[in-house]
Amino acid sequence: MSTPHRRQPALPTTPPSVQSLVLSLVAALVAGLLATVLAASTPAGAQAAQPRDHHHPRLRIAILPPVRQPGAVVAPSGAARSVVRVTLRPRTTGRPVELQRRVGLKWRTIATKRLRRGEARFPIAAGATSVYRAVAASHRQGRVLPSRRVSETWGAPDFVDEFEGSALGPAWQHRIQFYNPWGGRGCSKGSPEAVSVADGALRLSSMPDRAAHRLCVARDARGRSLGRFSYRLNGHVSTQHSADFLYGVAAARMRFPRSLGQHAAFWLQPRGLLEESTTPWGAEVDIVEWYGAHRRKNKMAIAVHKPMPDGSKRQIGGPIADPDRYLATRADTWWDNFHVFSVEWTPRRYVFRIDGHEVWRTREGVSDVHEFLILSMLSNDFELPLVGSDPKPRTAEVDWVAFWQR
């Protein structure tokens, strides 16, 4: 007789919600144990990365080389002032910020300014070896927000010419001593006659070519006649075969003529082709171009000419809106006083300044080849109608020019 099979009682079923809760508790326990183990193995002083707070104010400080020196007389480049640039992000206007210098073991406030669009500039003596920081009040509970510490690190310029003596120095060569209609100057050419050095300044002129006994037909970019004018000589010099640099700051202290009909310029051009370069032919960098004053409108421009694959160049930048806002005072002018025009060139951008005031910046057309300096006073054909009936020489002056390489 077979033994009857006894039915086992069914085990109670755990609800799904309870299972999920148990799994969550187990996962949390494992995570906690793992965090404890990792913390024990972390070196002393190391901190876990924190998510970036985009609303937390960030105060930054940087020192530029001596690029501020407005004034009516020639002066040595060593007398120019460096500029401490302080920025606060997010940008604010009106908040006080202090520039402090380390004196012994203490910080001493040497100047206070209010931020304008998140920026303030403090001139300091060039070549100072002091340590600086900036201090502002943050948005949160009025606490003090200090910047990092910085010191002047540019040192002496890698190249400088003060234009002392009575002749152009050996670093300079005269450029394009022929009429070149394909370059827009069919009626003018570079000439040593239009260049002189005296009283501590380089003088670059646009002047009539007395050797030409006939008139020139000036034409615009489309080949249309603009009229007949006297041939002219241009002051046009460069350091193409003697001095160039890759990244850093280039600066020139210049004074311009007021009249129209030519333009004074300080600019850079590439030394040559560099294989495997992201911008094979570098770029033309126009640090300043001055076209003269007309009806209370001063014409000044900054531009970068980026090389294109088809061999052409694309212009980035152009005329400066209201350049007079960068003058030192209401009585200041571009033709009575000298001003320092500079570009800060890094692998990522150009920043253009006048006496330390930022005018424009761009990330386009950044050259990665060595560039040399050019100083010029050019009469393009399209400008000749503006010379009028007075063909006398127009002259721009350069007190000094320099570059600091980084």
Global pTM reads 0.82
Q: What is the predicted pLDDT for the residue at 160? A: 98
Domain 159-405, what fold? Jelly Rolls (2.60.120)
- State the DSSP code for 231: -
Beta-bridged to residue 319, according to DSSP, are 301
Quote the pLDDT of residue 91.
84
Instruction: Identify the burial level of 332 via C-beta atoms within 10 angstroms of its C-beta, where 0-12 means exposed, 13-18 middle and 19 or more buried.
Output: middle
**Do 58-151 and 159-405 share a fold?**
no
pLDDT tens readout for residues 21-36 = 445 544 555 455 444 4
Give exposure, 259-297, as e/b (b: 16+ Cβ within 10 Å): bbbbbbbbbbbbbeebeeeeeebbbbbbbbbbbbbeeee
* Cα angle for residues 144, 148, 150 (degrees, 5° grid): 130
Least confident of 39-43, 139-143, 171-175, 194-198: 39-43
Looking at residue 42, its pLDDT comes to 37
* pLDDT range class, residue 83, cuts 50, 70, 90: very high
Most confident of 17-26, 40-49, 245-254: 245-254
Residue ranges of the domains in the chain?
58-151, 159-405
The CATH number assigned to the domain with range 58-151 reads 2.60.40.10
Q: What is the pLDDT of residue 5?
A: 42
Query: Distance between CA 324 and CA 334 in Å, rounded?
Result: 8
